[in-house]
Amino acid sequence: MIIGLTQILIFQGLGELLSKFFLPAIPGPVIGLICLLVYLFIKKEVSQDLGLVSDTFTQHLGLLFIPAAVGAILYLPSLKQNSLAITLALLGSLVVTFSVSILVLKFFGKDKS
């Protein structure tokens, strides 16, 4: 499990470095996740240690949402004041996300027979 956690931290660190020096508009953890994805795509398998760590993270994913919920309650008056703009932004992003997902599925989901 330590090896899998080390791999995740190495890719996050790599993402932070790339973000700091080359791509400051993109957060480091996002770049690290993309690097990890490319690494796994090239390797064509997930190691047992990395799989164990990712399964453990997935089991406790709900804990990561607690700070966001506390922040939402803290800024509740501001959220109420801007509720129309927030709702429109959420609906717009939902439509864009669904549209892009459908296009990606159409492109990569073609039957190769």
- Tens digits of per-residue pLDDT, 2-52? 998 999 999 999 999 999 999 888 899 999 999 999 999 999 899 899 899
Residue-level pLDDT at 111: 62
Residue-level pLDDT at 68: 79
- Tens digits of per-residue pLDDT, 47-96? 899 899 889 888 888 887 788 788 888 888 998 999 999 999 999 999 99
- Count other C-beta atoms under 10 Å from residue 59's C-beta: 9
DSSP letter, residue 80: H
**Inter-helix orientation angle 2-21/28-43, to 10°:** 120
Q: Whole-model pTM? A: 0.58
Collapsing DSSP to helix, strand or coil, 89 comes out as: helix
Evaluate whether 47 touches 4 at the Cβ level (below 8 Å): yes
